[in-house]
Amino acid sequence: MLDALVIGAGPAGIGTALALAAVDDLVFGVVDRGAIGQTFLDWPAEQTFLTPSFTGNGFGATDLNSVHPETSPAFSLGVDYPTGRQYATYLRGVATHFALPLLEGTEVTSVTPRDGGFEVRCSRGPVLARSLVWAGGEFGDPVAPRIAGHPLLDHSSGAAAWESRPGDVVVIGGYESGIDIACHHVRRGSRVTIVDEQSPWDAGSGSDPSFRLAPRSRMRLVAALSTGKLTLVASHAVAVSPTSDGYSTRLGDGRTVTSGSRPIAATGFGPGLGPVEHLFASRGDGWPELDEDDQSTLTPGLFLSGATIRHGGMKFCFVYKFRQRFAHVARVIGDRAGKDVAALEAWRAAGMLTDDLSCCGVECAC
Ligand SMILES: Cc1cc2nc3c(=O)[nH]c(=O)nc-3n(C[C@H](O)[C@H](O)[C@H](O)COP(=O)(O)OP(=O)(O)OC[C@H]3O[C@@H](n4cnc5c(N)ncnc54)[C@H](O)[C@@H]3O)c2cc1C
């Protein structure tokens, strides 16, 4: 029986595995149904990171997109805003360098708690593990708005939404992914309307990037608006229907906006828990309920890693946020297995270990 199995080889799975590798003598493995960094390989080619990479590691400011204290995508890739393919290359390089025990092309289809551990059914056969880390990501769980005609929408995570489109373009949802894809189509010469009742393009009051557009998005938004081809509408879409020459999106305020192609839903993702969904309790807002160790409140020994983590009002939806938990989870797993976890303090020194979550809500003064 393994001490731990990590499901998913994106930044969360690779990062957690790297922390597990620092625990003396721990026997663990990683599986992914696709390749290392599969989600990033599946990103539309035009999409790039919005968190910048920079090799500040030596001075305690570890590259924001790094998953290990001694690595930096800026250093290994030579770019500051990696594309999906570039970031997948970084992840593969790190996994190879640290010789992670990893199986690609191995899908987990079911998980059953059994005898102080878990029986995990994979496409290559069963695996037994004492602890389990779900790092399956949210990309496989795109969420469309519940409005009439929603099957007529293209989700922003799909390649179709990024292709050139005839006529005007309508984007439902105006946060990061909505701004991203709208700016992309404006750059290609389309007239674009973004519809979002919350007006997330306005500055907002807090400094947390999970609730406020990133500077890169803000700069792109200003540039797109200056072309006169981008319109922002603070209303919500209530229905989509086909017309003789395209599509009509009806808004809550009675107006309609028309488009020459299927409207794009930039409405985010769900928790994507797949085969472990039944092993987590759900919070009132639909996100999995976790204890202070990012462990399921329903199933001891099952941990969550990645952008799906929520604690109270805190979202961990960037690499620089959810990586704060890799070493913490590895320490809990290592302690339970009776192993030496001292090496994980290197994560803290690199600014990559937060075990006291009360310090994460700091606001910038200016
Ligand atoms: C469009 C978009 C843009 C983003 N931009 C940024 C950004 O600029 N900066 C930033 O910090 N964050 C960004 N994020 C947020 C976050 O960093 C990414 O979502 C990131 O991919 C999350 O990492 P992860 O490892 O949790 O999930 P993923 O990278 O999705 O990895 C999950 C892995 O699990 C595998 N898997 C899933 N189910 C199974 C199964 N049943 N069996 C085996 N394997 C399975 C998948 O194949 C995949 O490889 C962005 C997210 C999105 C959606």
Instruction: Tell me how far the alpha carbon of residue 170 lies from the centroid of ligand 1, in angstroms.
Output: 26
pLDDT the model gives residue 204: 67
Same domain, 290 and 259: no
- 296 domain residue, yes or no: yes
Contact 77, 85 (CB under 8 A): no
Q: Label residue 242 left, alpha or beta by phi (over 0 means left) and psi (-120 to 50 means alpha).
A: beta
Same domain, 14 and 113: yes
Residue 76 is given by DSSP the state H
Number of domain units in the chain: 2
pLDDT the model gives residue 37: 98
Q: Over 80: is that where the pLDDT of 12 sits? A: yes
Question: Which of 265, 285, 306 finishes a domain?
Answer: 265
Question: Which of 265, 290, 315 finishes a domain?
Answer: 265
pLDDT the model gives residue 357: 81
pLDDT bracket for residue 165 (50, 70, 90)? very high
Both tokens of 18, joined, read 């790297």
Please provide the size of the chain in residues: 366
Query: What is the C-alpha to C-alpha distance for residues 206 and 226, in angstroms, rounded to an integer?
Result: 26
Same domain, 128 and 274: yes
**Going by CA atoms, what residue is nearest to atom 49 of ligand 1?**
38
Helix (H, G, I), strand (E, B) or coil at 51: coil
Same domain, 133 and 21: yes
Task: Tell me the average pLDDT of the chain.
Answer: 95
**Going by CA atoms, what residue is nearest to atom 39 of ligand 1?**
136
The average pLDDT across 170-186 equals: 97
Residue 244: exposure state from Cβ atoms within 10 A (0-12, 13-18, ≥19)? exposed
Instruction: Tell me how far the alpha carbon of residue 39 lies from the centroid of ligand 1, in angstroms.
Output: 5
Same domain, 44 and 7: yes
Question: Radius of gyration of the chain from Cα atoms?
Answer: 21
What tens digit of pLDDT does each residue of 229-270 get?
999 999 999 999 999 999 999 999 999 999 999 999 999 999
CA 113 to chain CA centroid, nearest Å: 26
Cα separations in angstroms, 163 against 35, 188, 190, 199, 229:
25, 10, 12, 25, 18
Full domain range(s) for residue 234: 150-265
Contact 282, 276 (CB under 8 A): no
- 364 domain residue, yes or no: no
What residues are in contact with ligand 1 under a 6 Å CB criterion?
7-13, 31-34, 38-39, 49-51, 107-108, 135-140, 177, 269, 274-275, 306-307, 317-319
pLDDT the model gives residue 366: 74
Identify which of 5, 36, 38, 108 to mutate to test ligand 1's pocket (most ligand atoms within 8 A of the CB). 38
What tens digit of pLDDT does each residue of 58-68 get?
898 999 999 99
Instruction: Tell me how far the alpha carbon of residue 136 lies from the centroid of ligand 1, in angstroms.
Output: 7
Same domain, 17 and 98: yes
In this structure, what CATH number is given to the domain that contains residue 256?
3.50.50.60
Query: What is the C-alpha to C-alpha distance for residues 21 and 190, in angstroms, rounded to an integer?
Result: 49
Count the Cβ atoms, other than its own, within 10 Å of residue 223.
13
Query: Which residue from 127, 63, 144 is spatially nearest to 350, judged by alpha carbons?
Result: 63
- 366 domain residue, yes or no: no
The average pLDDT across 24-47 equals: 96
- 349 domain residue, yes or no: yes
Question: Which of 265, 294, 326 finishes a domain?
Answer: 265
Same domain, 178 and 68: no
Q: Over 90: is that where the pLDDT of 131 sits? A: yes
